[in-house]
Structure 1
Amino acid sequence: MDNFEQNLDKYAELAVRVGLNVQKDQTVVIMTPISCADFVRKVAKKAYEAGAKDVVVDWDDDEVKAIRLKHAPEATLKEYPMWRANGLEDLAKQGAAFLQIYAPNSDLLTGIDPDRVATAAKTAATAREGFLNYLRNNQVSWLMVSYPTAEWSAKVFPELDQAERIEKLWEQIFTLTRVNTEDPVSAWKQHLETLISKQHMLNDKRFKQLHMKAPGTDLYIELAHKHQWVAASSDTESGIRFVPNMPTEEVFTMPHKHGTSGTVRSTLPLSYQGSLIDGFSLTFENGKVVSATAEKGQEVLEKMLDMDEGARYLGEVALVPYDSPISNSGIIFYNTLFDENASCHLALGNSYPFTIEGGSSMSAEQLAEHGYNKSLIHVDFMVGSAEMDIDGIKEDGTREPLFRKGNWV
């Protein structure tokens, strides 16, 4: 691939300078599979050049994780190394920036007992809740990016040989994150301005409810009291502007926990905890999922919904036009970071407090009064399509069209 090393350097630079916006004397934490080591080294170098005082790498390996889930004594799946969870939380308390490199393998856990997978996932989520709250409240800067691996590229481009798969996936990543532009930083600033204009428009409208209509979908979503739409970039408590997802095409906010009713059907596969869930429909009553069916991954879907009480309620609604770069690529990435930015999507589980006015400083009781949903999970799933219509409904019942045939009106 022409200019590959140059583009990889630009990708690392973008992650450090725009995504995390690393500050002088800040610690940077990189959470990554070992297969991404070459990119980690580039990010570390860029972080030190940006003024970081230290780069801490939290290595992981999916294959070892799968071996443990298959062979470890069942009792140990209810244990988590608290030194690891506490260490991440301590770094968050100190104001570190966190980069997660996400390289999914949606077939990793095929054949492994879903009960064992669910037990381990719940254990990890419970142990890491204190750390994750720093991210969910935007108390620190954080970013998720992706890196091609043999397993992921094989899922996306099965018709190609391995070298071609990796090259093709890199080409897509560089294009969709605007790395292959002459000045990616400027390109991102312009992109953020476009998304923020949609954010302001929606906040000015003050809709009480959204109505989504498409084949298999007829869903009413009440929005949280004093909700606020958010797009692309956020600010930490100390005023550092960062971009948590690259790529990003969404504008999103908080649904009211008890305000969703109707049925919604997924439009893209969901890669969840090393398994694939596809062709699924959810029916809601008073905000809660009361029925769930899937063409593939039914048992995994049910285990996810049973993670805790909040897992059956929505925590996010996000609007993404069908006519957007990722959607127009025509590729299913089997990677939520990319696929959610090709489609309007919803998230089951935990809400983001910063999507209501003053939410980051509210008590748990105050958040609940506004319609906040608390859960160990936050799982985005894709519902948008070229046939999706969305209306905004105001307090007095008047409707305004927002989307027609998948795009902004």
Structure 2
Amino acid sequence: MPEQTMLKKYAELALKCGVNLQENQMLVVNSSIEGAPFARMVVKIAYEMGAKTVHINWSDDTLDRLWYENAAQEVLENVPEWRVKMFDHFAEEGAAILSIRSTNPDLLKGIESSRISASNKAAGDAMKNFRKYTMNDKITWSIVAIPNGEWAKKIFPETSEAKAIEQLWEQIFKITRVDQEDPVEAWNKHNATLSKAKDVLNDHKYKKLIYKAPGTDLTIELPEGHIWKGGSSPSEKGIEFNANMPTEEVFTLPHKYGVNGTVSSTKPLSYGGNLINNFSLTFKEGKVVDFSAEEGQETLENLLNMDEGARRLGEIAIVPHESPISQSGLIFFNTLYDENASCHLALGKAYPSSVKGGAAMDDDALDANGVNNSITHVDFMMGSGELDIDGVKEDGSTEAIFRNGNWAINVK
């Protein structure tokens, strides 16, 4: 374990900049049992900050694996009503939700993919109401990560497990700015930088984006009234929070019926305890009509068949190749980190707040405005140092946004 001083700075950052915990507010912490020492530190600091109460939801990779191996199919296909009501209660109480992720990328390797898909679909259906609170920024929520042996060894296979965990902690502290003297102030400055970038993109009001790279030739139409976001966001009560730590992206949503062409992945996607690698998707009028993967073909197929919306895009995110995570030269096999090293897209549900008035729209209005709906939302990485992006303006003129993986317009 790293020094207690660094762990405390990380915990404070997650509470102050991540969920931005308020006095007399409930905090919900989702954590693996391997992260118990860090979770306990988070709870202690939360109470010192004036938390009303803290609820912990524990998980265990070993037990999760055993469940997928042995549970009856009917169990996999259903989520207990008490669990749904529990999370709905947290949301209705205005709780801050902090998830401490520490997952083995190969956790469910060898498990029949249809069993994993059944469980994911059941969870997606059951948690629809709770997801409205998070994806519409009605409450504050954040995700951070801590190492475990399997994950660390996946990134650093040539060293011992203990050394690999130590190296991963070092990377996490650097990438999340915990190694700086005042991480909170460092994040305030970082959020200001991302805010400038999103303001520039909002001012340009592009109608389309054109992506070109090896294996990628994709045109994405943007809905009228789309909003670029990035860095911290305000909740419904006006509390600024960072949903992902780290984050290096500015993002918006595509028009669900306006995506055409082919896109190829540039990093492995860890999904449902399995890896999908070297895959490509071909879109026609917004829908995936063809796909292939060198690794994880069946897992990809199950993801795309989750529901109708899973074959359409819900997010487009721009991340420069010169971002700190990309420059580390590491593949993290963890979407929270890899998506912030690379431009990425997301299959599935769009964030309604990424279009003007979207948070107040019903499903029919969202569809009419080109906003995708789904029970899933899965980011995949497709950026590299060879990616070019052009923006098509309202008058039909085109300008370079990205060249060779980095900004070609001034976003400062």
What is the TM-score of this pair, normalised by structure 2?
A: 0.98
Residue 348 of structure 1 aligns to which amino acid in structure 2? L
Supply the distance in 2 between the matched residues of 1:152 and 1:162 (Cα, whole angstroms).
10
2:308 — aligned with what? 309
Contact 1:27–1:53, Cα closer than 8 Å, also in 2: yes
Supply the distance in 1 between the matched residues of 2:294 and 2:358 (Cα, whole angstroms).
38
Supply the distance in 2 between the matched residues of 1:224 and 1:55 (Cα, whole angstroms).
40
**What is the correspondence of 1:201-240 to structure 2 with a 5 Å cutoff?**
201-240=200-239
Asked whether 1:155 is paired with 2:154, we answer yes
2:78 — aligned with what? 79
Runs (4+) of structure 1 exceeding 6 A deviation are: none
1:245 — aligned with what? 244
1:104 CA drift (Å): 2.4
1:64 CA drift (Å): 1.1
1:395 CA drift (Å): 2.0
2:359 — aligned with what? 360
Q: Secondary structure of the equivalent of 2:62?
A: helix
1:298 — aligned with what? 297
CA deviations 1:176-214 (Å, max 9, x no partner) are 000000010110011111110000000000001100000
1:367 CA drift (Å): 1.3
CA deviations 1:214-269 (Å, max 9, x no partner) are 00000000112210000011111111110100000000001000000000000000
Contact 1:101–1:146, Cα closer than 8 Å, also in 2: yes
> Over aligned residues, Cα RMSD in angstroms?
0.9
Supply the distance in 2 between the matched residues of 1:298 and 1:48 (Cα, whole angstroms).
46
1:50 CA drift (Å): 1.5
2:133 — aligned with what? 134
2:255 — aligned with what? 256
1:322 — aligned with what? 321
1:45 — aligned with what? 44
Supply the distance in 2 between the matched residues of 1:93 and 1:283 (Cα, whole angstroms).
40
After TM superposition, the structure 1 stretch with the greater mean CA deviation from structure 2, 277-286 or 355-364, is 355-364
Q: Secondary structure of the equivalent of 2:379?
A: strand
Residue 225 of structure 1 aligns to which amino acid in structure 2? E
1:123 — aligned with what? 122
Contact 1:310–1:350, Cα closer than 8 Å, also in 2: yes
Supply the distance in 2 between the matched residues of 1:397 and 1:111 (Cα, whole angstroms).
50
Contact 1:17–1:50, Cα closer than 8 Å, also in 2: no
What is the TM-score of this pair, normalised by structure 1?
A: 0.98
Residue 123 of structure 1 aligns to which amino acid in structure 2? A
2:106 — aligned with what? 107
1:348 — aligned with what? 347
1:12 CA drift (Å): 0.2
2:179 — aligned with what? 180
1:268 — aligned with what? 267
After TM superposition, the structure 1 stretch with the greater mean CA deviation from structure 2, 118-127 or 311-320, is 118-127
CA deviations 1:109-145 (Å, max 9, x no partner) are 1111111111111111111111111101100000000
Supply the distance in 1 between the matched residues of 2:346 and 2:224 (Cα, whole angstroms).
18
CA deviations 1:24-70 (Å, max 9, x no partner) are 11000001111110110111111112211101001111221111111
Q: Which runs of 5+ in 2 are unaligned?
A: none
**What is the correspondence of 1:7-86 to structure 2 with a 5 Å cutoff?**
7-86=6-85
Supply the distance in 1 between the matched residues of 2:187 and 2:247 (Cα, whole angstroms).
10
Supply the distance in 2 between the matched residues of 1:179 and 1:76 (Cα, whole angstroms).
41
1:342 CA drift (Å): 0.2
1:287 — aligned with what? 286
Equivalenced residues, count: 408
**What is the correspondence of 1:363-374 to structure 2 with a 5 Å cutoff?**
363-374=362-373
Q: Secondary structure of the equivalent of 1:293?
A: strand
Contact 1:324–1:342, Cα closer than 8 Å, also in 2: yes
Q: Secondary structure of the equivalent of 1:106?
A: coil
